[in-house]
A and B are shown apart, each in its own frame.
Chain A
Amino acid sequence: MLMDNRKMNALGKACCQFWHSSIGKKIVVAVTGLMLVGFLIGHVAGNLLMFQGRDAMNGYAQFLHHFAHGWGIWFARIGLLAAFVLHIVATVALVRRNRAARASRYECDATVQASRGSRIMIWSGLTILAFLVFHILHFTVRIDPGLASLQDADYAAAHGGEARHDTFAMVMRGFQNPLVSLFYIVGVTLLCSHLSHGVASIFQTLGLRGKHSERAIQRLGWVVAIAIWAGFLSVPVTIVTRLKKDSGAAATTAVSPRAPATARR
């Protein structure tokens, strides 16, 4: 028992030392960043179901909410929240230490090769945080009762009146507000900037970048960032441009020709 306690103490001490070291915190940022990139890829793939129509989108949302008897989404949310908090806490601690390490600035400052995205990581990250709070309140918590009360009438008719939230209509209606779409576009563009540096940095921090792979990793970072940017923006841009074209006549069916007409308001 005494031996076990000693081992536990040694393990705890080693974990503390790792967390307090510069590389330890960077590893935490990289691992949590990898988890968040994985979530973003899943999220953007889900968003693209908007182009498949109302049933596909609402069915996907229903699957997420009922996966593992409804526990799955909460496990995912708690895991993501933990990753997000750790990512921010470790990053802020690193930034504070970095600023202390370079207390005095050069009178003549110059940058040789650092990318613009890499130089605004903390600011793009904090703006993404603000955007995320709004995004969750908007589409997850649904503080707007008009969005929260939307029901999928087709599904109810086909399933004996069983209720299902109309996620498709919620997204359509949510992006009809130009300010919401604009904030979304700004937020996702900053996310792309963040990822353009962040994805390649994950490989470097985890020690997976070598002389033969450095260019490929840099390109992969850009490909992932641009693919996620294009995927996320495709939905609001399509909604806003189609709305303008159709003058709102068939507003909620604009994204997909396969969307049932019941979404019309």
Chain B
Amino acid sequence: MNFTLKVWRQRSPNAKGQIETYEAQDIPADASFLEMLDIVNERIVEGGGEPIHFDHDCREGICGMCSLTINGIPHGKDSGITTCQLHMRKFSDGDTIFIEPFRARAFPILRDLVVDRSAFDRIIAAGGFISVRTGSAVEANSLPVPKDDADASFDAAACIGCGACVAACKNASAMLFVGAKAAHLNLLPQGKPEKDRRALAMVRQMDAEGFGNCTNQYECEAVCPKSISATVIAKLNRDYTVASVKEAVC
């Protein structure tokens, strides 16, 4: 298959970036999107050029490292997958494909398609944890958890922190990520004692990092590779408001 790639190239965080055009020829239909970029990079290097820099790691959809916006949609147009799970057979021969980094003020571009997503780490460090050691896995029936809560917590815990939600949101809001990480712990008995402190700390850190605000358009939900529902944002709103009231009156 042959493609025309329009790729964002930027030499350094403060350099001016621009779209550059590459011809990707004779690409196997079964190559993944990242393998296609590997092939293009090999040819660029053979020609003495600077390869396209992009993030990747596990290449099996669980690490959350790949971070490309493909034709304006983070991880491409197919739902429920990461970029590394996207295959070239999903495109048509001769397509022009725009490849850009995740764009958000809180995700500064380091080089080409590589962005700094350490803002997510700082949000987790602010409250996305349980302070006490919960020990080894105990016998399941010793700590009963309602099935609905367990399922909802598990769904939220599926978040891999890739940042596609931020990239897709026109406001660069991180509320799906923060909502998922907070809901994951707030729904479980182990996380409930720190629920209020967690909600306040994570939202305040999210604001401090310069993320935008959710306007309930649910673009984040549509591109999330783990199909996390935006209802976790509703829960975060509720948890934060309750925690704020308690903080004000207690």
Contact = CB atoms under 8 A, between A and B. Distances in A.
Interface residues of B, number: 55
A108 interface: yes
Nearest to B209: A101
A15 B173 CA distance: 23
Contact of A109 (B72, B106, B236, B238): B72
A46 interface: no
Given A14-B244, A23-B203, A23-B236, A110 B231 contact: no
B218 interface: yes
Contact of B248 (A10, A121, A203, A211): A10
Mostly helix, strand, loop or mixed at chain A's interface?
helix
B234 A208 contact: yes
B168 A207 contact: no
Contacts of B204: 17, 21
Interface residues of A, number: 49
Nearest to B168: A112
A106 B166 CA distance: 13
Contacts of B234: 203-205, 207-210
Contact of B73 (A24, A110, A209, A210): A110
Contact of B103 (A20, A97, A106, A118): A106
Nearest to B212: A101
B217 A207 contact: no
B212 A98 contact: yes
B210 A101 contact: yes
A107 B104 contact: no
Given A102-B212, A208-B234, A17 B249 contact: no
B105 A103 contact: yes
Contact of A114 (B77, B172, B217, B229): B217
B240 interface: yes
A11 to B, nearest CB: 5
Interface of B: 6, 8, 19, 69, 71-73, 77, 98, 100, 103-106, 152, 168-173, 175, 203-204, 206-207, 210-219, 221-223, 229-231, 233-241, 244, 247-249
The 6 closest A-B pairs by CB, nearest first: A207-B238, A110-B72, A101-B212, A14-B248, A108-B98, A98-B171
Given A204-B237, A210-B231, A214-B231, 6 more contacts: A14-B248, A21-B207, A101-B104, A101-B105, A102-B105, A112-B223
Interface of A: 10-11, 14-15, 17-18, 20-27, 94, 97-98, 100-115, 118-119, 121, 197, 200-201, 203-211, 214
